[in-house]
Amino acid sequence: MLCQTVLGLLLACAVSLSSTAVILDNGMPILWAQTSELPIQNNIAIPVDPFNYLNRMSLYRALISRTDSLMGPMGTGTTESPMWGLPLQLGWMLTSGRLADPTGATTCGLDTGDTMCISTDSWWGCENYFVSILPFLSAAQLGFMGDGVQVTMLVPDGVTDYCTSYDDCKTRFPDPMSKWDAFFQGLKAAADSPLPANEKKDLLLGLYWEAQMSSTNTSSACDAKKSHYSAAEVSFLDAWLNSAEYVSAAHFQSSLEKAAKFISPLPGRVLREGDVAPNIVDLSDEENNTLNTFSWMENLNKMLGGSLVRMWTKAMCSVTTREKGRALLEQVLTTPAYSSITFMGVITSMATSC
């Protein structure tokens, strides 16, 4: 009841801010204070229900707390880990209504039902499963949750889209699991690495984004759930996936502060038929600008047969160009009516320097 009351206040706040999704509560991800440590008995973790928002957020909290001591290359603060972007995304999905049942068949995730419920029919909840459960199971397998600790996820009866243990996920989704293993092993090895600090940081961010992108690409397992959404929402989620290609190639450090800048202007509600940015009246100027930017980047890449992403990836060829790329992305996503011609020109110039 407490969680539902808190969430109700957050959602009311979101509405008062021209539909902008609330992603922070006292400077932390939504309902972070309501999360808890993973219960463990005799080296076996109590089975976790990942279709409960607080439980899934608790997995992120455990991931961040158990790896934070190895995040020195990211900076001296306590919120510099690139994994902070993941709980912020989950919080945005909650407050924007994207974790709720899109079919209307149940009250899962709705104010009239269990507000902490993550629907198995939600494309967003499905996509997030693969960037929450897979890294957690990998970290647990490598001992970050304690020596020999075994973890199993609970999945509703009849639902077969999701793996539930390390061995199960490794068998069904070997590429992302191998890449998460490589990232967590890289974290352990970084302490003894002779590389300069900036190169060590860049290497770890590269491993992190390889793992996250592999998990995100696994979301093709969620494709059937797209049919529950409007054409406008499907277009947005496709553009959202496309934007991850740019962020990943630039080795973006998705710390709490930096990730919040990118996530806060995302649309604060599920898009409906007829929503066309930048003229969606009940969304803020920032949300309309973000949707418009995502749209032209996605459309331009399609017009060029995918070569825009390839040019960007080619341009991100060194620590220096990736630093420039991160600055450019921030400019593109925060500048209203940023010119696609200017963007193409900058990318071309950067690519030719590689």
- In terms of domains, do 35 and 141 share one? yes
pTM value? 0.91
- In terms of domains, do 39 and 142 share one? yes
Look at residues 196, 228, 260 and tell me which one is the last residue of a structural domain: 228
Residue 126 located in a structural domain: yes
- In terms of domains, do 100 and 34 share one? yes
- In terms of domains, do 95 and 132 share one? yes
Residue 125 located in a structural domain: yes
158: left (phi over 0), alpha (psi -120 to 50) or beta: left
**Which one, of 93, 97, 94, 117, lies nearest residue 106 by Cα?**
117
Residue 233 located in a structural domain: no
Residue 114 located in a structural domain: yes
Residue 141's pLDDT is 95
Residue 266 located in a structural domain: yes
Q: Are 328 and 321 in contact (CB under 8 A)?
A: no
Look at residues 209, 228, 247 and tell me which one is the last residue of a structural domain: 228
- In terms of domains, do 98 and 150 share one? yes
Q: How far is CA 142 from CA 160, 178, 185, 190, 270, in A?
A: 26, 12, 8, 15, 37
- In terms of domains, do 71 and 152 share one? yes
Which residues, given as ranges, of the chain have pLDDT below 50? Answer: 1-6, 8-19
- In terms of domains, do 174 and 67 share one? yes
Residue 20's pLDDT is 61
**DSSP secondary structure of 76-136:** SSSS--GGGHHHHHHHHHHHTTTTS-TTSSS-TTSTTS-TTB--TT-HHHHHHHHTTHHHH
Look at residues 228, 261, 277 and tell me which one is the last residue of a structural domain: 228
Residue 126's pLDDT is 96
- In terms of domains, do 78 and 208 share one? yes
**In this structure, which amino acid lies at residue 275?**
D
How many CB atoms lie under 10 A from the CB of residue 294? 23
- In terms of domains, do 353 and 286 share one? yes
Residue 90 located in a structural domain: yes
- In terms of domains, do 212 and 256 share one? no
Residues found in the chain: 354
Host domain of residue 252: 239-354
- In terms of domains, do 20 and 121 share one? yes
Residue 102 located in a structural domain: yes
- In terms of domains, do 193 and 321 share one? no
Residue 234 located in a structural domain: no
Over the range 185-196, which residues count as b (16 or more CB within 10 Å of their CB) and which as e? ebbeebeeeeee
Q: How far is CA 138 from CA 133, 289, 320, 340, in A?
A: 9, 37, 31, 39
Residues 6+ away with beta carbon under 8 Å from 214? 175, 176, 179
Into how many domains does the chain fold?
A: 2
**DSSP secondary structure of 7-39:** HHHHHHHHHHTTTPPP-EETTEETTGGG--PPP
